[in-house]
Amino acid sequence: MRRRFVRALARPLALAATAVAIPLLSAAPAASDVVLGGYPVEAAQNPWTVALSSRDRFGRMRSGQFCGGVVVDPTTVLTAAHCMAEDVLGAPPDRARDLKVITGRTDLYTDEGREIAVRETWVNPAYDSGTNAGDFAVLTLAEPLPRTSAIGLAGPGDAAYRPGTEAVITGWGDTTGFGAYPRRLRAAHVHVLADALCERAYPGSADGKYLSASMVCAGDERGGRDACQGDSGGPLIAQGRLIGLVSWGSGCGRPESPGVYTRVSEIVRTLGRGRTPQGAGKTP
């Protein structure tokens, strides 16, 4: 299964629907629980990790969560472009009803934290749903978050992209690969992997194609620790910086099928060329 994390129907990774001002800083069985092979964490310790919500589209259970996102500025959240697709939201993003960002909520069955409306969406016009390249979107919030909620971005040439670097993924996605969605935020430790591993795993098919210029390969070569459906758009963090957004892959936690993440340094390069709405992409 190609997981596009809404990792959903193929392998972008959002939940399938049922019935930027940005700071630049220089099928194996699942283990226990995702994030696959993960462990519980608190939202307060991961304030940049947010849930995207639409109760109108996904119901009230789990606060209507369907994707993840990352706070990169008090009013700016990055997520996956495929999370903003019309077949996910039921309408173009600028017309989607009840689209919100939930912050500070560890347990999706509670009302802790804040729910903030999305004032504006910008989907990368170069996003290619065939290869999955350029899988990112920028959400502008109607109300600001504390600056301490934001995480900095890894730029081109950042050492955090070196293969073998330990990284962390966080989200509320499927913990088994078979539709077991947790109520509480989870995290898992993975490693940045050599591009060659993903190039062999994804040479080009209906699922997508690994392109090292805009994607990052991460996970565990033996499988078991991975993002999964519902984690799309969430963070891949290494050395205190955001290096990737959960994007796509084949299955969840399978040996020789690593997770593929949107490369944040390429997002930085794209936004630096002024391709976002006014204000997005600037260093605070």
Which member of 33, 54, 63, 82 is catalytic? 82
**pLDDT for 153:** 97
Final residue of a structural domain among 115, 149, 183:
149
Final residue of a structural domain among 101, 131, 149:
149
Name the nearest CA neighbour of 169 among 13, 15, 62, 9.
13
Give the count of domains, the chain. 2
- Are both 101 and 169 inside the same structural domain? no
Active site residue 82: yes
Final residue of a structural domain among 149, 169, 198:
149
Which member of 33, 73, 107, 135 is catalytic? 135
Q: What is the reported pTM? A: 0.87
d(CA 138, CA 150) in angstroms, rounded, equals: 14
- Are both 132 and 73 inside the same structural domain? yes
- Are both 222 and 134 inside the same structural domain? no
Instruction: Please indicate, yes or no, if residue 12 is contained in any of the structural domains.
Output: no
- Are both 189 and 245 inside the same structural domain? yes
Which member of 232, 250, 257, 265 is catalytic? 232
**pLDDT for 13:** 52
- Are both 163 and 126 inside the same structural domain? no
Residue with tokens 């990352």: 70
Instruction: Please indicate, yes or no, if residue 213 is contained in any of the structural domains.
Output: yes
- Are both 169 and 261 inside the same structural domain? yes
Instruction: Please indicate, yes or no, if residue 30 is contained in any of the structural domains.
Output: no
- Are both 107 and 163 inside the same structural domain? no
**pLDDT for 23:** 39
Name the nearest CA neighbour of 227 among 239, 240, 214, 237.
237
Q: Render the burial of 246-256: b for 16+ CB within 10 Å, e for the rest.
A: bbbbbbbbbee
**pLDDT for 12:** 56
Instruction: Please indicate, yes or no, if residue 24 is contained in any of the structural domains.
Output: no
Instruction: Please indicate, yes or no, if residue 1 is contained in any of the structural domains.
Output: no
- Are both 99 and 168 inside the same structural domain? no
Are 236 and 171 in contact by the 8 Å Cβ rule? The answer is: no
Structure tokens at 131: 């290869």
Instruction: Please indicate, yes or no, if residue 271 is contained in any of the structural domains.
Output: no
- Are both 135 and 169 inside the same structural domain? no
Q: pLDDT tens track of the chain, all 284 residues? A: 234 544 333 345 555 443 344 433 333 333 333 455 678 999 999 999 999 999 999 988 899 999 999 999 999 999 999 999 999 999 999 888 899 999 999 999 999 999 999 999 999 999 999 999 999 999 999 999 999 999 999 999 999 999 999 999 999 988 877 677 888 999 999 999 999 999 999 999 988 999 999 999 999 888 778 898 899 999 999 999 999 999 999 888 888 889 999 999 999 999 986 544 433 433 32
Are 238 and 160 in contact by the 8 Å Cβ rule? The answer is: yes
d(CA 174, CA 165) in angstroms, rounded, equals: 25
Instruction: Please indicate, yes or no, if residue 260 is contained in any of the structural domains.
Output: yes
Domain range for residue 107?
A: 46-149
- Are both 125 and 222 inside the same structural domain? no
The count of C-alpha atoms lying within 13 angstroms of the C-alpha of 99, restricted to the half-sphere facing its C-beta, is 26
Instruction: Please indicate, yes or no, if residue 120 is contained in any of the structural domains.
Output: yes
- Are both 140 and 176 inside the same structural domain? no
- Are both 240 and 163 inside the same structural domain? yes
